[in-house]
Amino acid sequence: MGSLKTDDGKPDTMEIYSISQDDMIGTTPPFKNPEPLESHRQDCQAFFRHAHAAISVILSHLDEKLGLPRNTLASINPLDRPTATSLRLLLSPPQSGTKEFRGVLPGHTDIGCITMLFHVAGGLQILPAGCENEEPNWRYIRPEPNCALINMGDTLVEMTGGVLRSSLHRVVTPPGEQAGVTRQSLAYLVRPDRNLTMRRLKSSGVVPPPSEGDEEDTRLVDEWAAEMSKRIVVGQVKPKGKGGRFDMQRNLVKV
């Protein structure tokens, strides 16, 4: 908490702990986690398998709509090969006692391929496509029971030449009485196979090829992600809204 600056210039109020998919599934030697996680490894492993299965259904539909060979996106985001995929545990304390608007986590787009977010309390906001990054334009996303929210990430934006879009989102003081609630959420952040590069996907006409004279990005996906993260942290890149048509109900997937 406090290591980042929110959109209002104040320190963030979010505690974060990440659980590695590789660690829990066993594609790498076990990590040393706090005891509550170590004693629930089987539960964590079951979560990753179930979440990955749900994401794979979404990716199969994207294959079809993007004109990609069957299983293309699922093979890019495997369960049984090393990736930087993780489950991020997020917690922010109650914000009651203050009447002022307060940022909790700054506006950002997700760097990976796709995110599955589980949240119960309010506070998540999204900037709809085509809107300027100004306070009146941000919209709260109301949590829906038994649903997860799905975000596209910047990796798939790059790999599809901008056909898919990532959304600019942030966490702020929850509205109304929810401001007095400890806010907890889970973000399943799906990253690609570590051995892949950022080359653009080849499809049957939907994903445009690189423009003439443009060189393909041959950096490994982790190398590209690390550089992007560093540039954002030091302020060299300001995330911008890249979302498509905003429709909250279409962004909810029953799980």
For residue 91, is it within any domain?
yes
Cα dihedral value 162, 82, 24, 91, nearest 10 = -30
pLDDT in tens, 174-222: 888 888 888 899 999 999 999 999 999 998 889 988 887 788 888 999 9
CATH number assigned to the domain comprising residue 186:
2.60.120.330
pLDDT in tens, 139-155: 999 888 889 999 999 99
pLDDT band at 251 (very low <50, low <70, confident <90, very high): very low
Put the strands of the sheet holding 15-20 in their side by side order.
15-20, 86-92, 183-190, 114-119, 147-152, 252-254
For residue 103, is it within any domain?
yes
Residue holding tokens 């369960």?
A: 79
For residue 106, the enclosing domain spans: 15-254
pLDDT band at 5 (very low <50, low <70, confident <90, very high): low
Distance in angstroms (rounded) separating the CA atoms of residues 26 and 167: 32
For residue 73, is it within any domain?
yes
For residue 1, is it within any domain?
no
pLDDT in tens, 20-68: 999 999 999 999 999 999 999 999 999 999 999 999 999 999 999 999 9
Distance in angstroms (rounded) separating the CA atoms of residues 199 and 114: 17
For residue 7, is it within any domain?
no
Phi/psi at 169 (5° precision): -140, 165
For residue 4, is it within any domain?
no
- Percentage helix, strand, coil for the chain under 3-state DSSP, each rounded to 5: 30, 25, 50
Domain count across the chain: 1
pLDDT in tens, 114-141: 999 999 888 899 988 888 888 888 899 9
pLDDT in tens, 91-118: 988 876 555 556 666 778 888 999 999 9
For residue 131, is it within any domain?
yes
For residue 166, is it within any domain?
yes
Q: Which stretch of 45-49, 224-228, 235-239, 250-254 has the lowest confidence by average pLDDT? A: 250-254
